[in-house]
Amino acid sequence: MNQPIALPPEPVELDVFARALIEAAPDAVVVTDMNGRILLLNLQAELLLGYEREELTGRLLESLIQAAPPERAAAPAPMADDPPRRRRVGSYAIELVACCRDGSTVPVAMTLAPLRVDGRPYTIAVLRDLTEQHQREEHLLYISTHDALTGLANRNAFDLALAHLESHGPHPVGVVMIDVDDLKLANDGEGGHAAGDALLQRVAMVLRTTFRATDTVARIGGDEFAVLATGRDVAAIDVLAARLQEAIAAHNRDGGSARPLSLSVGVASSELGTPVSVALRHADARMYSMKREHHGGRQGRHGASALAAADTTRATPPETAVVKKQA
């Protein structure tokens, strides 16, 4: 027959038992009085905040807590004089920022629970370090929005940026569509797919140096890249196309024995009131038109596998499409 579990006798043994439970907790545990002053804390709280226990005793818990950044704050931070409300651990935690002794901050999920002992009100605060969770979230977000080979935005991120510009602007929006010529030749050559990958990485490097960090520069397919440049009208997008041409030429001059880059490019610009997706279609059509010209000209002059030096700096399309709102 199972014997009932005997609780330690009160008051001294129970106090020791309670302290042992708090010390064994995997998260930081802080007990405050009715004014929010710290009375008791465990080792995990010391490790989290970097303070000795004696330094924190008597200090306001509120002085160690800040509101989370706006993108993560889901509810107002509780104040020490707010009426206490019991919250289920893990279900109603509030994301905040804990301030450490060395001046650094740590993202935490804080759960509060009211407690009365001998008629006196206390609050138990449990602080869970969210650093590793945030790092995992940021990594998952990165790999879901970036191309693994080039580090540029991927098709998913490009589509999200396009949808945002469609709904919110700002306009005008310059669109650049880019296709890498002769990627198949690189893949089928002596270097195999490693040579093709290196070619794509070099294209990505040129695009990064040509466009702004605020522009969406993406690899949207095997050999296709695209750029969304906000605030770029037809004149500005023409300048960008010329700058891209210069960047390719400079890269090929400095590339040594590496296969020269050759890109087919189409550009367009959408004005206020017109869908950016329409400009995207115009730029895409112009890019494919240039690609056909490149392949046709190369076949006629040099044969299908030849690369002429004059062909390796192409970037500027014959003209830029300007998409305006229909009257």
CB atoms within 10 A of CB 109: 19
DSSP states of 304-316 as a string?
TT---GGGTT---
Q: 261's torsion region: left (phi>0), alpha (psi -120 to 50) or beta?
A: beta
Q: What angle do CA 277, 279, 283 make, to 5 degrees?
A: 115
Residues 5/102, Cβ–Cβ less than 8 Å: no
Burial-class residue 315 by CB neighbours within 10 Å (0-12, 13-18, 19+): buried
Tally of residues, the chain: 327
Residues 205/145, Cβ–Cβ less than 8 Å: no
For residue 194, the number of C-alpha atoms closer than 13 Å in the C-beta half-sphere is 2
Catalytic residue among 27, 215, 223, 238: 223
Residues facing residue 40 across a β-bridge: 31
197 is catalytic: no
Tokens 């977000």 label which residue? 141
Q: Which residues are catalytic?
A: 223
